[in-house]
Structure 1
Amino acid sequence: MKRSEINQIIDNLITFASKNKVYFPKFAGWSVDDFKHAGGEHDEIIDNMLGWDVTDFGRKDFSQYGLATFTFRNGNFNDKKKYPKPYCEKILILEDDQILPMHFHKFKEEDTINRGGGILDIQVYNSTSNEQLDKNSDVHLVKDGQKITLRAGGVVSLEPGESLTTTQRIYHQWHGRKGTGKIMVWEVSSTNDDNVDNRFLEDVPRFSEVEEDEPIKHVLFADYSKLRSK
Protein backbone atom coordinates (compact mmCIF):
# COMPACT_ATOMS: atom_id res chain seq x y z
CA MET A 1 0.00 0.00 0.00
CA LYS A 2 1.10 3.57 -0.57
CA ARG A 3 1.65 5.72 2.50
CA SER A 4 -0.57 8.38 0.92
CA GLU A 5 -3.42 5.87 0.75
CA ILE A 6 -2.91 4.86 4.39
CA ASN A 7 -2.86 8.51 5.51
CA GLN A 8 -6.13 9.18 3.67
CA ILE A 9 -7.83 6.05 5.01
CA ILE A 10 -7.06 7.05 8.59
CA ASP A 11 -8.19 10.63 7.96
CA ASN A 12 -11.50 9.21 6.73
CA LEU A 13 -11.74 6.87 9.73
CA ILE A 14 -11.26 9.76 12.18
CA THR A 15 -13.92 11.82 10.40
CA PHE A 16 -16.40 8.92 10.40
CA ALA A 17 -15.75 8.16 14.06
CA SER A 18 -16.12 11.78 15.15
CA LYS A 19 -19.49 12.00 13.39
CA ASN A 20 -20.52 9.10 15.63
CA LYS A 21 -19.11 10.85 18.75
CA VAL A 22 -16.10 8.54 19.03
CA TYR A 23 -12.78 10.14 19.89
CA PHE A 24 -9.21 8.94 20.32
CA PRO A 25 -6.47 9.29 22.96
CA LYS A 26 -3.69 11.83 22.48
CA PHE A 27 -1.14 9.29 21.23
CA ALA A 28 -3.41 8.67 18.21
CA GLY A 29 -2.15 12.02 16.91
CA TRP A 30 1.54 11.59 17.74
CA SER A 31 4.07 12.42 15.06
CA VAL A 32 7.04 10.30 14.00
CA ASP A 33 9.26 12.34 16.35
CA ASP A 34 6.82 11.84 19.24
CA PHE A 35 7.14 8.08 18.86
CA LYS A 36 10.90 8.17 18.40
CA HIS A 37 11.40 10.13 21.61
CA ALA A 38 8.66 8.69 23.80
CA GLY A 39 9.99 7.76 27.24
CA GLY A 40 9.70 4.47 29.08
CA GLU A 41 6.44 5.59 30.68
CA HIS A 42 4.86 5.00 27.25
CA ASP A 43 6.20 1.45 26.77
CA GLU A 44 2.72 -0.08 26.91
CA ILE A 45 1.76 1.69 23.68
CA ILE A 46 4.74 0.24 21.85
CA ASP A 47 4.96 -3.20 23.47
CA ASN A 48 1.24 -3.99 23.17
CA MET A 49 0.69 -2.62 19.65
CA LEU A 50 -1.75 0.10 20.63
CA GLY A 51 -2.67 2.55 17.90
CA TRP A 52 -3.33 2.52 14.16
CA ASP A 53 -3.30 -0.33 11.68
CA VAL A 54 -4.31 -0.40 8.00
CA THR A 55 -3.96 -3.49 5.84
CA ASP A 56 -5.04 -4.73 2.42
CA PHE A 57 -3.80 -8.26 3.23
CA GLY A 58 -1.43 -8.07 0.29
CA ARG A 59 -4.29 -7.89 -2.22
CA LYS A 60 -3.47 -4.34 -3.37
CA ASP A 61 -7.18 -3.53 -3.47
CA PHE A 62 -8.12 -2.01 -0.13
CA SER A 63 -11.63 -1.06 -1.22
CA GLN A 64 -12.43 -4.77 -1.74
CA TYR A 65 -10.19 -6.51 0.83
CA GLY A 66 -8.95 -4.60 3.84
CA LEU A 67 -9.45 -3.20 7.30
CA ALA A 68 -8.55 -0.05 9.22
CA THR A 69 -8.33 -0.24 13.00
CA PHE A 70 -7.28 1.54 16.17
CA THR A 71 -6.39 -0.46 19.30
CA PHE A 72 -7.19 1.45 22.49
CA ARG A 73 -5.96 -1.08 25.04
CA ASN A 74 -4.40 -4.54 25.10
CA GLY A 75 -2.55 -7.03 27.26
CA ASN A 76 0.57 -8.94 26.29
CA PHE A 77 1.04 -12.70 25.81
CA ASN A 78 4.80 -12.46 26.27
CA ASP A 79 4.98 -10.40 29.46
CA LYS A 80 1.92 -10.99 31.61
CA LYS A 81 3.78 -9.87 34.72
CA LYS A 82 4.44 -6.40 33.32
CA TYR A 83 1.14 -6.23 31.41
CA PRO A 84 -1.45 -8.34 33.27
CA LYS A 85 -4.42 -6.83 31.43
CA PRO A 86 -6.41 -9.83 30.04
CA TYR A 87 -8.46 -7.87 27.49
CA CYS A 88 -8.24 -5.84 24.29
CA GLU A 89 -10.46 -3.12 22.79
CA LYS A 90 -10.47 -1.92 19.18
CA ILE A 91 -12.45 0.13 16.70
CA LEU A 92 -12.50 -1.32 13.19
CA ILE A 93 -13.93 0.35 10.11
CA LEU A 94 -15.25 -1.76 7.25
CA GLU A 95 -16.14 -0.02 4.01
CA ASP A 96 -19.29 -0.68 2.01
CA ASP A 97 -18.83 -4.04 0.19
CA GLN A 98 -15.38 -4.57 1.77
CA ILE A 99 -14.22 -8.02 2.95
CA LEU A 100 -12.07 -9.13 5.86
CA PRO A 101 -10.71 -12.49 4.60
CA MET A 102 -11.64 -15.82 6.20
CA HIS A 103 -9.60 -16.50 9.36
CA PHE A 104 -9.71 -17.79 12.90
CA HIS A 105 -7.91 -16.95 16.12
CA LYS A 106 -5.75 -19.47 17.91
CA PHE A 107 -5.96 -17.85 21.33
CA LYS A 108 -8.34 -14.91 21.26
CA GLU A 109 -12.06 -14.93 22.03
CA GLU A 110 -13.89 -11.87 20.81
CA ASP A 111 -17.15 -9.98 20.73
CA THR A 112 -17.79 -8.20 17.43
CA ILE A 113 -20.21 -5.29 17.84
CA ASN A 114 -21.82 -3.22 15.09
CA ARG A 115 -21.75 0.27 16.60
CA GLY A 116 -23.27 2.05 13.63
CA GLY A 117 -23.52 2.45 9.88
CA GLY A 118 -24.24 -0.43 7.53
CA ILE A 119 -24.96 -4.13 8.01
CA LEU A 120 -22.12 -6.54 8.78
CA ASP A 121 -22.48 -10.08 7.38
CA ILE A 122 -20.24 -12.71 9.01
CA GLN A 123 -19.84 -16.12 7.38
CA VAL A 124 -18.69 -18.87 9.76
CA TYR A 125 -17.23 -22.39 9.72
CA ASN A 126 -15.63 -24.61 12.30
CA SER A 127 -12.02 -25.55 11.58
CA THR A 128 -10.72 -29.07 11.01
CA SER A 129 -7.74 -30.57 12.82
CA ASN A 130 -5.52 -29.52 9.89
CA GLU A 131 -6.91 -25.95 9.98
CA GLN A 132 -9.13 -26.17 6.90
CA LEU A 133 -12.85 -25.40 6.65
CA ASP A 134 -15.11 -27.95 8.27
CA LYS A 135 -17.91 -27.99 5.73
CA ASN A 136 -20.06 -30.46 7.62
CA SER A 137 -20.43 -29.59 11.30
CA ASP A 138 -22.79 -26.99 12.73
CA VAL A 139 -21.32 -23.83 14.24
CA HIS A 140 -22.40 -22.79 17.73
CA LEU A 141 -22.26 -19.09 18.56
CA VAL A 142 -23.78 -16.48 20.87
CA LYS A 143 -25.51 -13.42 19.42
CA ASP A 144 -26.41 -10.76 21.98
CA GLY A 145 -26.57 -13.33 24.77
CA GLN A 146 -28.63 -15.83 22.74
CA LYS A 147 -27.21 -19.21 21.77
CA ILE A 148 -27.57 -19.82 18.03
CA THR A 149 -26.61 -22.67 15.71
CA LEU A 150 -25.75 -22.26 12.03
CA ARG A 151 -24.93 -24.77 9.35
CA ALA A 152 -21.37 -24.74 8.04
CA GLY A 153 -20.94 -21.64 5.89
CA GLY A 154 -23.93 -19.91 7.42
CA VAL A 155 -24.07 -16.13 7.73
CA VAL A 156 -24.85 -14.06 10.81
CA SER A 157 -25.99 -10.52 10.03
CA LEU A 158 -25.32 -7.74 12.53
CA GLU A 159 -27.37 -4.59 12.27
CA PRO A 160 -26.29 -1.53 14.28
CA GLY A 161 -26.33 -2.37 17.99
CA GLU A 162 -26.04 -6.14 17.51
CA SER A 163 -23.05 -8.29 18.47
CA LEU A 164 -21.60 -11.76 18.02
CA THR A 165 -19.28 -13.79 20.24
CA THR A 166 -16.68 -15.85 18.37
CA THR A 167 -14.54 -18.39 20.21
CA GLN A 168 -11.15 -19.78 19.22
CA ARG A 169 -10.73 -21.73 15.96
CA ILE A 170 -14.04 -20.67 14.43
CA TYR A 171 -13.38 -19.39 10.92
CA HIS A 172 -15.14 -16.12 10.13
CA GLN A 173 -15.21 -13.74 7.19
CA TRP A 174 -16.62 -10.23 7.42
CA HIS A 175 -18.43 -8.54 4.56
CA GLY A 176 -19.87 -5.05 4.67
CA ARG A 177 -23.21 -5.59 2.97
CA LYS A 178 -23.18 -3.71 -0.31
CA GLY A 179 -25.33 -0.60 -0.41
CA THR A 180 -25.73 -0.27 3.38
CA GLY A 181 -22.73 1.98 3.98
CA LYS A 182 -19.50 2.11 5.97
CA ILE A 183 -19.62 0.20 9.28
CA MET A 184 -18.13 1.13 12.65
CA VAL A 185 -17.27 -2.15 14.34
CA TRP A 186 -16.16 -2.46 17.94
CA GLU A 187 -14.15 -5.44 19.16
CA VAL A 188 -13.89 -6.45 22.80
CA SER A 189 -11.69 -9.49 23.24
CA SER A 190 -9.13 -11.32 25.28
CA THR A 191 -5.50 -10.25 24.79
CA ASN A 192 -4.59 -9.98 21.12
CA ASP A 193 -1.26 -10.42 19.32
CA ASP A 194 -1.61 -10.10 15.55
CA ASN A 195 1.91 -11.45 15.05
CA VAL A 196 0.96 -14.96 16.20
CA ASP A 197 -2.81 -15.29 16.71
CA ASN A 198 -4.33 -15.18 13.21
CA ARG A 199 -4.77 -18.18 10.93
CA PHE A 200 -5.95 -17.06 7.48
CA LEU A 201 -7.48 -19.70 5.24
CA GLU A 202 -5.59 -18.26 2.26
CA ASP A 203 -1.90 -17.49 2.50
CA VAL A 204 -2.21 -13.72 2.91
CA PRO A 205 0.05 -11.41 4.91
CA ARG A 206 -1.49 -9.79 7.99
CA PHE A 207 0.53 -6.59 7.45
CA SER A 208 0.97 -4.76 4.17
CA GLU A 209 4.25 -3.63 2.63
CA VAL A 210 4.26 0.17 2.54
CA GLU A 211 5.49 2.30 -0.34
CA GLU A 212 6.72 5.56 1.19
CA ASP A 213 5.41 7.98 -1.42
CA GLU A 214 4.78 10.72 1.14
CA PRO A 215 5.67 11.43 4.79
CA ILE A 216 3.98 9.51 7.59
CA LYS A 217 0.98 11.42 8.90
CA HIS A 218 -0.45 8.64 11.09
CA VAL A 219 2.07 6.22 12.59
CA LEU A 220 1.00 2.56 12.32
CA PHE A 221 1.92 0.10 15.04
CA ALA A 222 3.76 -1.81 12.31
CA ASP A 223 6.04 1.26 12.08
CA TYR A 224 7.06 1.19 15.75
CA SER A 225 9.99 -1.21 15.48
CA LYS A 226 11.52 0.76 12.59
CA LEU A 227 11.11 4.11 14.30
CA ARG A 228 12.36 2.95 17.69
CA SER A 229 15.43 1.23 16.29
CA LYS A 230 16.84 4.46 14.90
Structure 2
Amino acid sequence: MKRSRINEIIQEADTFIRSHGYSLPPFAYFSPEELRAADHDQIKTRRMGWDITDYGEGAFDEMGLFLFTTRNGLNKDLGQKSAMLYAEKIMISRDNQLSPMHRHDIKVEDIINRGGGDLVLKLYMADASGGIDHDARVEVMCDGLPRSVEAGGLLKLKPGESVTLFPNNWHAFWGEGGDVLIGEVSTVNDDMTDNIFAKPIGRFANVEEDEAPLHLLVSDYDTLL
Protein backbone atom coordinates (compact mmCIF):
# COMPACT_ATOMS: atom_id res chain seq x y z
CA MET A 1 0.00 0.00 0.00
CA LYS A 2 1.17 3.52 -0.68
CA ARG A 3 1.77 5.60 2.44
CA SER A 4 -0.38 8.32 0.91
CA ARG A 5 -3.35 5.91 0.80
CA ILE A 6 -2.69 4.83 4.40
CA ASN A 7 -2.72 8.49 5.46
CA GLU A 8 -6.08 8.95 3.69
CA ILE A 9 -7.55 5.88 5.38
CA ILE A 10 -6.45 7.15 8.81
CA GLN A 11 -8.25 10.44 8.24
CA GLU A 12 -11.37 8.73 6.83
CA ALA A 13 -11.43 6.29 9.74
CA ASP A 14 -11.04 9.01 12.35
CA THR A 15 -14.03 10.85 10.87
CA PHE A 16 -16.13 7.65 10.79
CA ILE A 17 -15.21 6.75 14.36
CA ARG A 18 -16.07 10.23 15.63
CA SER A 19 -19.41 10.11 13.79
CA HIS A 20 -20.40 7.23 16.09
CA GLY A 21 -19.50 9.13 19.27
CA TYR A 22 -16.29 7.19 19.92
CA SER A 23 -13.06 9.03 20.72
CA LEU A 24 -9.58 7.60 20.29
CA PRO A 25 -7.00 8.05 23.08
CA PRO A 26 -4.58 11.02 22.97
CA PHE A 27 -1.61 8.97 21.73
CA ALA A 28 -3.52 8.30 18.51
CA TYR A 29 -2.72 11.83 17.38
CA PHE A 30 0.99 11.86 18.11
CA SER A 31 3.02 12.72 15.04
CA PRO A 32 5.91 10.36 14.30
CA GLU A 33 8.25 12.94 15.81
CA GLU A 34 6.15 13.26 18.97
CA LEU A 35 5.94 9.50 19.35
CA ARG A 36 9.72 9.23 19.06
CA ALA A 37 10.20 11.95 21.65
CA ALA A 38 7.51 10.78 24.07
CA ASP A 39 7.82 8.02 26.63
CA HIS A 40 6.42 5.54 24.15
CA ASP A 41 7.97 2.31 25.46
CA GLN A 42 4.68 0.77 26.60
CA ILE A 43 2.84 1.86 23.46
CA LYS A 44 5.49 0.19 21.34
CA THR A 45 5.91 -2.93 23.50
CA ARG A 46 2.17 -3.52 23.67
CA ARG A 47 1.76 -2.63 19.99
CA MET A 48 -1.00 -0.13 20.64
CA GLY A 49 -2.09 2.24 17.87
CA TRP A 50 -2.98 2.42 14.20
CA ASP A 51 -3.10 -0.73 12.08
CA ILE A 52 -4.20 -0.77 8.44
CA THR A 53 -3.81 -3.93 6.43
CA ASP A 54 -4.49 -5.24 2.97
CA TYR A 55 -3.00 -8.59 4.06
CA GLY A 56 -0.13 -7.99 1.63
CA GLU A 57 -2.43 -8.48 -1.38
CA GLY A 58 -2.61 -4.88 -2.60
CA ALA A 59 -6.42 -4.63 -2.86
CA PHE A 60 -7.52 -2.89 0.35
CA ASP A 61 -11.03 -2.01 -0.85
CA GLU A 62 -11.76 -5.67 -1.57
CA MET A 63 -9.75 -7.36 1.20
CA GLY A 64 -8.55 -5.32 4.13
CA LEU A 65 -9.28 -3.99 7.58
CA PHE A 66 -8.77 -0.87 9.66
CA LEU A 67 -7.84 -1.43 13.31
CA PHE A 68 -6.73 0.67 16.27
CA THR A 69 -5.51 -1.07 19.42
CA THR A 70 -6.45 1.07 22.41
CA ARG A 71 -5.10 -1.22 25.14
CA ASN A 72 -3.25 -4.52 25.30
CA GLY A 73 -1.63 -6.86 27.77
CA LEU A 74 1.52 -8.92 27.26
CA ASN A 75 1.86 -12.59 26.40
CA LYS A 76 4.42 -13.07 29.16
CA ASP A 77 1.76 -12.19 31.75
CA LEU A 78 -0.76 -14.81 30.65
CA GLY A 79 -1.58 -17.15 33.51
CA GLN A 80 -0.76 -14.64 36.25
CA LYS A 81 -3.42 -13.68 38.78
CA SER A 82 -2.81 -9.95 38.85
CA ALA A 83 -1.93 -8.74 35.37
CA MET A 84 -3.39 -7.01 32.34
CA LEU A 85 -4.68 -10.07 30.49
CA TYR A 86 -6.98 -8.31 28.05
CA ALA A 87 -7.00 -6.15 24.93
CA GLU A 88 -9.38 -3.79 23.19
CA LYS A 89 -9.57 -2.66 19.56
CA ILE A 90 -11.81 -0.47 17.47
CA MET A 91 -12.06 -1.57 13.85
CA ILE A 92 -13.79 -0.67 10.60
CA SER A 93 -14.95 -3.25 8.09
CA ARG A 94 -16.08 -1.51 4.94
CA ASP A 95 -19.12 -2.50 2.92
CA ASN A 96 -18.24 -5.83 1.21
CA GLN A 97 -14.60 -5.58 2.34
CA LEU A 98 -13.40 -9.04 3.31
CA SER A 99 -11.34 -9.84 6.38
CA PRO A 100 -10.21 -13.31 5.28
CA MET A 101 -10.73 -16.67 6.98
CA HIS A 102 -8.55 -17.08 10.05
CA ARG A 103 -8.44 -18.21 13.66
CA HIS A 104 -6.21 -17.76 16.70
CA ASP A 105 -4.29 -20.19 18.90
CA ILE A 106 -4.64 -18.21 22.13
CA LYS A 107 -7.02 -15.28 21.79
CA VAL A 108 -10.66 -15.45 22.84
CA GLU A 109 -12.52 -12.43 21.50
CA ASP A 110 -15.85 -10.70 21.52
CA ILE A 111 -16.60 -9.09 18.16
CA ILE A 112 -19.15 -6.30 18.59
CA ASN A 113 -21.08 -4.36 15.97
CA ARG A 114 -20.80 -0.82 17.33
CA GLY A 115 -22.76 0.83 14.53
CA GLY A 116 -23.22 1.32 10.80
CA GLY A 117 -24.21 -1.60 8.58
CA ASP A 118 -24.56 -5.26 9.46
CA LEU A 119 -21.47 -7.33 10.22
CA VAL A 120 -21.54 -10.72 8.51
CA LEU A 121 -19.30 -13.57 9.71
CA LYS A 122 -18.67 -16.86 7.91
CA LEU A 123 -17.89 -19.55 10.49
CA TYR A 124 -16.31 -22.99 10.69
CA MET A 125 -15.06 -25.15 13.53
CA ALA A 126 -11.44 -26.29 13.67
CA ASP A 127 -10.77 -30.00 13.24
CA ALA A 128 -8.41 -32.04 15.42
CA SER A 129 -5.36 -30.76 13.55
CA GLY A 130 -6.48 -27.12 13.62
CA GLY A 131 -7.67 -27.05 10.02
CA ILE A 132 -11.16 -26.23 8.82
CA ASP A 133 -13.88 -28.78 9.57
CA HIS A 134 -16.29 -28.59 6.65
CA ASP A 135 -18.94 -30.72 8.36
CA ALA A 136 -19.27 -29.74 12.02
CA ARG A 137 -21.90 -27.22 13.05
CA VAL A 138 -20.63 -24.09 14.75
CA GLU A 139 -21.92 -23.28 18.22
CA VAL A 140 -21.23 -19.76 19.46
CA MET A 141 -22.59 -17.36 22.05
CA CYS A 142 -24.15 -14.05 21.02
CA ASP A 143 -24.74 -11.65 23.89
CA GLY A 144 -25.18 -14.52 26.32
CA LEU A 145 -27.47 -16.58 24.08
CA PRO A 146 -26.43 -19.71 22.14
CA ARG A 147 -26.45 -19.57 18.35
CA SER A 148 -25.82 -22.41 15.92
CA VAL A 149 -24.98 -22.31 12.21
CA GLU A 150 -23.96 -25.00 9.76
CA ALA A 151 -20.33 -25.32 8.69
CA GLY A 152 -19.59 -22.32 6.50
CA GLY A 153 -22.83 -20.69 7.62
CA LEU A 154 -23.31 -16.95 7.97
CA LEU A 155 -23.94 -15.12 11.21
CA LYS A 156 -25.26 -11.58 10.82
CA LEU A 157 -24.74 -9.08 13.63
CA LYS A 158 -26.80 -5.93 13.65
CA PRO A 159 -25.63 -2.80 15.51
CA GLY A 160 -25.39 -3.57 19.22
CA GLU A 161 -25.02 -7.34 18.73
CA SER A 162 -21.87 -9.36 19.40
CA VAL A 163 -20.40 -12.85 19.18
CA THR A 164 -17.81 -14.62 21.32
CA LEU A 165 -15.19 -16.54 19.32
CA PHE A 166 -12.76 -19.12 20.68
CA PRO A 167 -9.50 -20.42 19.18
CA ASN A 168 -11.38 -23.29 17.53
CA ASN A 169 -13.65 -20.89 15.61
CA TRP A 170 -12.50 -20.13 12.08
CA HIS A 171 -14.03 -16.85 10.91
CA ALA A 172 -14.08 -14.37 8.06
CA PHE A 173 -16.17 -11.20 8.08
CA TRP A 174 -17.31 -8.18 6.07
CA GLY A 175 -19.71 -5.25 6.23
CA GLU A 176 -23.11 -5.42 4.59
CA GLY A 177 -25.34 -2.46 3.85
CA GLY A 178 -22.66 0.04 4.83
CA ASP A 179 -19.36 0.38 6.65
CA VAL A 180 -19.33 -1.13 10.15
CA LEU A 181 -17.69 0.15 13.31
CA ILE A 182 -16.49 -2.93 15.20
CA GLY A 183 -15.37 -3.31 18.78
CA GLU A 184 -13.12 -6.15 19.86
CA VAL A 185 -12.60 -7.14 23.49
CA SER A 186 -10.24 -10.07 23.94
CA THR A 187 -7.52 -11.76 25.85
CA VAL A 188 -4.02 -10.46 25.11
CA ASN A 189 -3.65 -9.70 21.42
CA ASP A 190 -0.50 -10.76 19.54
CA ASP A 191 -0.78 -10.03 15.83
CA MET A 192 2.83 -11.07 15.27
CA THR A 193 2.26 -14.75 16.12
CA ASP A 194 -1.40 -15.49 16.88
CA ASN A 195 -3.09 -15.29 13.47
CA ILE A 196 -3.58 -18.48 11.49
CA PHE A 197 -4.94 -17.84 8.01
CA ALA A 198 -6.68 -20.41 5.82
CA LYS A 199 -4.62 -19.21 2.84
CA PRO A 200 -0.96 -18.12 2.80
CA ILE A 201 -1.32 -14.35 3.15
CA GLY A 202 0.40 -11.75 5.30
CA ARG A 203 -0.99 -10.02 8.36
CA PHE A 204 0.45 -6.57 7.59
CA ALA A 205 0.62 -4.36 4.52
CA ASN A 206 3.76 -3.82 2.49
CA VAL A 207 4.19 -0.05 2.59
CA GLU A 208 5.46 2.04 -0.32
CA GLU A 209 6.86 5.28 1.12
CA ASP A 210 5.56 7.85 -1.37
CA GLU A 211 5.04 10.50 1.34
CA ALA A 212 5.72 11.02 5.03
CA PRO A 213 3.48 9.15 7.49
CA LEU A 214 0.72 11.14 9.18
CA HIS A 215 0.83 8.71 12.13
CA LEU A 216 2.90 5.57 12.57
CA LEU A 217 1.32 2.13 12.24
CA VAL A 218 2.09 -0.57 14.78
CA SER A 219 3.96 -2.32 11.97
CA ASP A 220 6.24 0.74 11.71
CA TYR A 221 7.43 0.63 15.31
CA ASP A 222 10.31 -1.75 14.78
CA THR A 223 11.68 0.18 11.79
CA LEU A 224 10.74 3.85 12.24
CA LEU A 225 11.03 4.41 16.00
**TM-score of the superposition, structure 2-length normalised?**
0.95
Shift of 1:44: 1.6
Distance 1:54 1:32 in 2: 16
Q: Which of residues 189, 194, 219 is equivalent to 1:192?
A: 189
Contact preservation (8 Å) 2:118, 2:159:
yes
Task: State the SS of the aligned residue for 1:7.
Answer: helix
Distance 1:63 1:227 in 2: 26
1:156-176 per-residue CA deviation (whole Å, 9 max, x = no partner) reads 100101000001121000021
- Consecutive unaligned residues of structure 2, counting only runs of 5 or more, are none
Distance 1:43 1:60 in 2: 31
Which residue is 2:137 aligned to? 138
- 1:1-230 equivalences in 2 (<5 Å): 1-39=1-39, 42-78=40-76, 84-177=83-176, 180-228=177-225
Shift of 1:79: 5.2
Distance 2:135 2:95 in 1: 30
Task: State the SS of the aligned residue for 2:76.
Answer: coil
Task: State the SS of the aligned residue for 2:84.
Answer: coil
1:101-154 per-residue CA deviation (whole Å, 9 max, x = no partner) reads 000011000000001000111010011233321011111100111012221111
Shift of 1:84: 2.3
Shift of 1:227: 2.1
Distance 2:169 2:71 in 1: 24
Q: Which amino acid aligns with 2:33?
A: D
Q: Which amino acid aligns with 2:112?
A: I
Q: Which amino acid aligns with 2:19?
A: K
Task: State the SS of the aligned residue for 2:183.
Answer: strand
Q: Which amino acid aligns with 2:163?
A: L
Comparing 142-151 and 157-166, the one that deviates more: 142-151
Q: Percent identity?
A: 41
Task: State the SS of the aligned residue for 1:211.
Answer: coil
Contact preservation (8 Å) 2:77, 2:84:
no
- Consecutive unaligned residues of structure 1, counting only runs of 5 or more, are none
1:72-103 per-residue CA deviation (whole Å, 9 max, x = no partner) reads 1000103568x921110100001111000000
RMSD, aligned α-carbons:
1.3
**TM-score of the superposition, structure 1-length normalised?**
0.93
Q: Which amino acid aligns with 1:183?
A: V
Distance 2:77 2:149 in 1: 37
Contact preservation (8 Å) 1:35, 1:227:
no
Contact preservation (8 Å) 1:35, 1:224:
no
Distance 2:71 2:205 in 1: 22
